[in-house]
A and B are shown apart, each in its own frame.
Chain A
């Protein structure tokens, strides 16, 4: 009985197994990236970046069909272009980076929807916007796993400076750790890579869900950044598994199911998490959260 509910779907169907592996890869890369996004106060900037991936993915889709590599490369190019352009524009005009990014992502989003509707049907548009982790083919799985691997490899040397820089932005300057712009750019590239990995499963609209929700949930539990990252990956994977099962048994779309499970974990963490959760706070815990 329990087997039928929890294990059966994965044991019996290859596409469910592939979706499971995809969730694991997304969780491993997206967990720490999400933590850094939250700590750098960039949660919403990440969202804007996620949307700006769309036109590239759409062009890739029109050329190569519903294949992650074609859409992934297009998405990467579009996401990085928007990230670099908005950084450059904010430096050139004095506009806050967040504002210039907001401008570019809206243009990109509109352009993307336009390209998809010109080149495909509304079903295709739904696919790009909302993703479908159940349709992950072996090649796409390879890409998602590759991105997770690259992310973790890059984070090994970049983790310490990125965390230090989030906590005390001037610190690295004064100790010769290189300008913050260099680390920031490297980080943005990682964010875009992980968004591209996420959008096959969750779509461009919700790709960030499996990064941010586990990260802010983990913040309510973890005492330090390392634990927070590990916990975020764990929560992300558990949400993936939970969401896939809900989707399977209830017959609902997988992307929203996964994000909603992660959302439920977040809500519970907000209430009872020991590091600033609402119940603990009422008991007079001195620690606060943002």
Chain B
């Protein structure tokens, strides 16, 4: 039996306005999972609830299977203050937190681990730079290196490829495929239906509710997309999404 994230009847509300209503679904290990839906459909909220950042008002998220129930979470790049005085190496070393906590020392072995992660994402030469000196794609590489160091069973990514150049996207996809092959749970919020079709074997279609969840070709059908459109009136403004659909 492989690891999986099981979501049952999850409801999350901000100020009593529910953003997610009774979302259910499953993200198994060993396959790349996508959460797709138009802007405003609750994708980020779902990821935050799964990662434990938000407390749901009803329902629950369970980690099933023999592995450790630990999560790593990649926020949207826009959430970071790019002027923060922190070096690329220090951002990556944040991934050691679960092992060193607030005062543990970083051992020589851990240091090597950080350097190896930097090399894996192609940032070895940038380790001492301040993050403000990085391009958008390089910043995303640094955050992926932090995920490598965190070394968790489940990895949740919020729009990892938004405004990222094609070359970086390809490199980061390779990393995600490696995680998949290592038997991890990999879930990415995507805005790009095309990418979900091409690279992600498993998909949840979200429109405040889970319209469908399963193997991508069975989920991204025109019937399901039409249903998503009916369920989320406010989402109609997201023309790009519907054009691709």
Instruction: Show the binding face of A for B, using Cβ within 8 Å.
Output: 39, 94, 156-158, 160-161, 163-164, 166-177, 219, 222-225, 228, 275-276, 286-290
Query: Which B residue sits closest to A225, measured CB to CB?
Result: B85
Cβ-defined contact, B130 with A168, below 8 A: no
Q: Which of chain B's residues have a CB closer than 8 A to the CB of A160?
A: 102-103
Is B72 in the interface zone, CB < 8 Å from A? yes
Cβ-defined contact, A286 with B81, below 8 A: no
Distance in Å: Cβ of A214 to nearest Cβ of chain B: 14
Query: Which B residue sits closest to A161, measured CB to CB?
Result: B102
Cβ-defined contact, A156 with B85, below 8 A: no
Instruction: Show the binding face of B for A, using Cβ within 8 Å.
Output: 15, 48, 51-53, 71-73, 75, 79-87, 90-91, 94, 97-98, 101-103, 130, 132-133, 150
In the complex, which of the residues A170, A173, A224, A287 has the most CB atoms of chain B within 10 Å of its own CB atom?
A170
Cβ-defined contact, A275 with B85, below 8 A: yes
Q: Which of B82, B85, B94 contacts A219, CB < 8 Å?
A: B85
Q: Closest 9 A-B residue pairs measured CB to CB?
A: A174-B73, A287-B132, A173-B53, A174-B51, A157-B102, A170-B53, A175-B97, A290-B83, A157-B103
Q: Which of chain B's residues have a CB closer than 8 A to the CB of A287?
A: 83, 130, 132-133
Besides A39-B84, A167-B84, A224-B87, 13 new A-B residue pairs in contact (Cβ under 8 A), listed by A number: A156-B103, A157-B103, A164-B97, A168-B75, A168-B79, A170-B51, A174-B53, A175-B98, A175-B150, A177-B102, A275-B85, A276-B132, A288-B83
Q: Which of chain A's residues have a CB closer than 8 A to the CB of B15?
A: 94
Distance in Å: Cβ of A34 to nearest Cβ of chain B: 14
Q: Which of chain A's residues have a CB closer than 8 A to the CB of B101?
A: 177
Query: Which A residue sits closest to B135, measured CB to CB?
Result: A286
Distance in Å: Cβ of A233 to nearest Cβ of chain B: 16
Given contacts A167-B81, A224-B90, A287-B132, contact A173 B102 (CB under 8 A): no
Cβ-defined contact, A288 with B85, below 8 A: no
Distance in Å: Cβ of B133 to nearest Cβ of chain A: 5
Cβ-defined contact, B52 with A173, below 8 A: yes
Query: Which A residue sits closest to B91, measured CB to CB?
Result: A167
Given contacts A275-B130, A286-B132, A288-B132, contact A170 B48 (CB under 8 A): yes
Please report the C-alpha to C-alpha distance between residue A173 and residue B133 in the assembled complex, in whole angstroms: 27
Q: Could you name 26 residue pairs across A and B whose Cβ atoms are closer than 8 Å?
A: A156-B103, A158-B102, A160-B102, A167-B94, A169-B79, A170-B53, A170-B75, A170-B79, A171-B97, A172-B97, A173-B52, A174-B53, A174-B72, A175-B72, A175-B97, A175-B98, A176-B98, A177-B101, A223-B85, A223-B87, A223-B130, A224-B130, A275-B85, A275-B130, A287-B83, A287-B132
